[in-house]
Amino acid sequence: MNYQWYPGHMTKAKRQMQEDIKLIDLVIELVDARIPLSSRNPDIDELGKNKARLILLNKADLADEKKNRLWRDYFKNQGFYVIELDARKHTAMKSIQETILDSCKEKIERDKKRGIKNRPIRAMVVGIPNVGKSTFINSFAGKACAKTGNKPGVTKGKQWIKINKSVELLDTPGILWPKFDDQEVGLRLAWIGSLNDNNIDTEELALELISFLVKEYPGALSGRYGVSEDRKQTIEILGEIAEKRSLLRTGGEIDRTRAAALLMDEFRSGRLGRITLEVPQEEQSNG
């Protein structure tokens, strides 16, 4: 689902988040492992400042394994709990449960001292559109997905999913607005398909991606399409992809528009391999 964000949407989303955050102990923030910074909105740090914080590097299956580790360390160093995740897989959910308890150990301890027993940890899931929030909630809640609503002391209308006796999840995820004011960030969001493609020149997007891939992932394009990556303008490589895939217009001319759409689609679905589009700053400066 693609969103168009306007200032009004952002104010509303922020206000909603401010209200919801009051009800919870833990913020579970999903980011896209291919662009962990560009898919975040740092405003969540201010909004969730007194809460336990867990970052899920989601779609880790599509991202470069080595770079997943770099990002995990990067966020850990900043004091977040971090897990690499493919939200479609139920197998990862046990370790998430353990990490949730770990991240809230101070609260659990405090409750114990006050004589409060068995008060579940309340958590909410947040992230930009399309990052995998619903997929994660479904996998995490599984079959045990029993909704509990309108408890005394809980804002009317809020629905909680009881995961088990120690964790409850707010059933509606918080939607964070992407920060696409920086052009580079906008480009990366467009690459992974998080911006509305209708407003984007797909050919331009594909050419930028080709340029990135030739530099950072040499062999990815030649491996997939049998094109040569040497000494070529990006537009020639796109043309060669069209040729290799017999994407022609009536009249026999190569169809770069369709080649661009094909490339974007195959990149987004992981058919070009596991690719990460940004690395932590300090890595960049160290070369």
Closest CA to 46 of 11, 12, 14: 14
Distance CA 41, CA 27 (A): 13
Q: Residue with CB nearest ligand G4P? A: 132
CB of 89 to ligand G4P, least distance (A): 8
Nearer to ligand G4P, 192 or 227 (CB): 192
Is residue 127 within 8 Å of residue 36, measured between CB atoms? no
Nearer to ligand G4P, 60 or 214 (CB): 60
State which amino acid sits at residue 126. Answer: V
CB of 269 to ligand G4P, least distance (A): 8
Nearer to ligand G4P, 126 or 242 (CB): 126
Burial label, 280 (beta-carbon count in 10 A; 0-12, 13-18, 19+): middle
Distance CA 188, CA 190 (A): 5
CB of 87 to ligand G4P, least distance (A): 4
Nearer to ligand G4P, 1 or 4 (CB): 1
Paired residues of 248 in beta bridges: 254
Tokens of 268: 């987004």
The binding site for ligand G4P (CB under 6 A) comprises 1, 58-59, 61-62, 85-88, 127, 129-135
Is residue 56 within 8 Å of residue 85, measured between CB atoms? yes
CB of 134 to ligand G4P, least distance (A): 3
CB of 220 to ligand G4P, least distance (A): 17
Nearer to ligand G4P, 103 or 130 (CB): 130
| CA distances in angstroms from 7 to 4, 11, 141, 173, listed in the order given | 10, 6, 33, 20
